[in-house]
Amino acid sequence: MAVLTLDSLQVLDASSPERQNAFRQFENLPLPGPTDEAWRYVDRTIDLESVALVSEAGDRMPADEILAALEPSQHLVIVDGKAVQMAGEGFGIESTKLLDLVSPDTDKLAAAHRAFVDAGVSLSLPRGKSTTAPVLIEVQTTAAKTISFPHVTIEIGEDAEAEVIVAYRSRDGAQAISVPQVEIDIAQSGRLRLLALQEMSLDSTIVVQLRARLGRDATLRLGEVGLGGDLARLDMAVDLDGQGSSADIVGVFFGHREQVLDYRMVLNHRGPKSSSNVLLKGAVEDASQSVFSGLVRIEKPAIGTTAFETNRNLVLSPDAKANSIPNLEILCDDVICGHGSSVGPLEEEHLYYLGSRGISPQRAERLLVRGFFQEVLDRLPVSGMEVALAEILERRFIRGQQMASDQ
């Protein structure tokens, strides 16, 4: 294994000017942390001195219980940011392809990704084509105390339609860092349904940098499920460049123990009559923390735009924390926009009502938590995992209930 130095860059492709430039930026940029506005409220630091680049990819992880019921048209696995294994009939599948939608000067981790990215997959769907079943991409981290930079590129052609699942997983005890980048380009009238499932181990860190670019009348339906990670961060920006482009983003997360789940979402409306809707619901218990920072920016050309942004948070333990900062920036007239957020415990009025109907307090709490999440589970862009996800969320809440009652 090699640390993130010029020597390790030589192993990849030191002749690449893009790599060299990104490495210089990596060396000069500071590590992001709580003092940076873009990382505000994150009670974690990222220690690059404790990890090293992977020399060889480890063995694939065993099957996942949530994904077990799926029958994907293709199954692709990136292991430790190195190996790519494929199964099923492929269409337009290539090795790593960078669209440069994530600028290396975004932060030190983005620069490191551009300098050290080694393996990834690129999906390209031609004009007028559609997938018959979801494409499953697993991003696995298996090697202990390592850092990896997997890359996923998705290009949807004109009037094409695809369904993709990206699942992030790591072995227990890995204590690893993963910095995936997901780049999405949807051409005119293209449609993409994308579900991201994050199940990293509770001793690992993941920072996903996702960028999407939408053309005229293009549609992106994106679902996010956040379950794992010691620190799990989604840094997402969607550019609605084309007239009539649309983004519908739903997400659900449940933090427990001492997790930090961090969501940063920016939606840039540039095309007229574009639309977006964000709904993120989450719960935190034990001593976990969540952060949501959302910005909907409507630029001058984007007249006739409709945009809504909503973040709801349940705080289920005295030591848990949730931070919610939705923002609107409107630079033109003739728009319909709104945003809202809430942070708090389960509603006492609802608990009282259920109790008056003879339902025990513990059962009443479980019913309310289940109903809280169900709205998002029903709206996930890829079906087939709702039941398994609901069971996992309920088990996590029941565990918290039992621990609270034992104290």
Domain limits, the chain = 6-347
Q: Which two tokens stand for residue 13?
A: 């492709």
pLDDT score of 16: 79
Distance CA 292, CA 348 (A): 25
Q: Using one digit for the tens of pLDDT, what is the confidence trace for 145-197?
A: 999 999 999 999 999 999 999 999 999 999 999 999 999 999 999 999 999 99
Q: What percent of the chain has pLDDT over 90?
A: 74
Q: Which two tokens stand for residue 404?
A: 């609270």
Amino acid at site 243: Q
Distance CA 153, CA 328 (A): 29
pLDDT score of 142: 95
Q: Which two tokens stand for residue 96?
A: 């790593």
pLDDT score of 34: 83
Q: Which helix (H) or strand (E) holds 291?
A: strand 289-298
CA angle at 284 for the pair 283 and 285, rounded to the nearest 5°: 125
pLDDT score of 202 more than 60: yes
pLDDT band at residue 328 using 50, 70 and 90 as cut-offs: very high
160 close to 132: Cβ distance less than 8 angstroms: no
Per-residue pLDDT, averaged over 328-343, amounts to 94
pLDDT score of 88 more than 70: no
Query: Among 124-138, 190-204, 255-269, 279-293, whose mean pLDDT is lowest?
Result: 124-138
Per-residue pLDDT, averaged over 79-94, amounts to 70
Distance CA 291, CA 249 (A): 17
Beta pairing, strands 74-79 & 83-88: antiparallel
Tell me the pTM: 0.95
- Interhelix angle 386-406/361-377, rounded to 10 degrees, is 150
Q: Which two tokens stand for residue 318?
A: 């005295």
Task: Provide the 10 A C-beta neighbour count for residue 13.
Answer: 11
Closest residue by Cα to residue 289 from 317, 261, 263, 253 = 261
Distance CA 46, CA 61 (A): 25
188 close to 216: Cβ distance less than 8 angstroms: yes
CB within 8 Å of 326: residues ≥ 6 apart: 292, 294, 309, 310, 311, 339, 340, 341
Q: Which two tokens stand for residue 22?
A: 């990104």
Distance CA 353, CA 37 (A): 42
pLDDT score of 1: 44
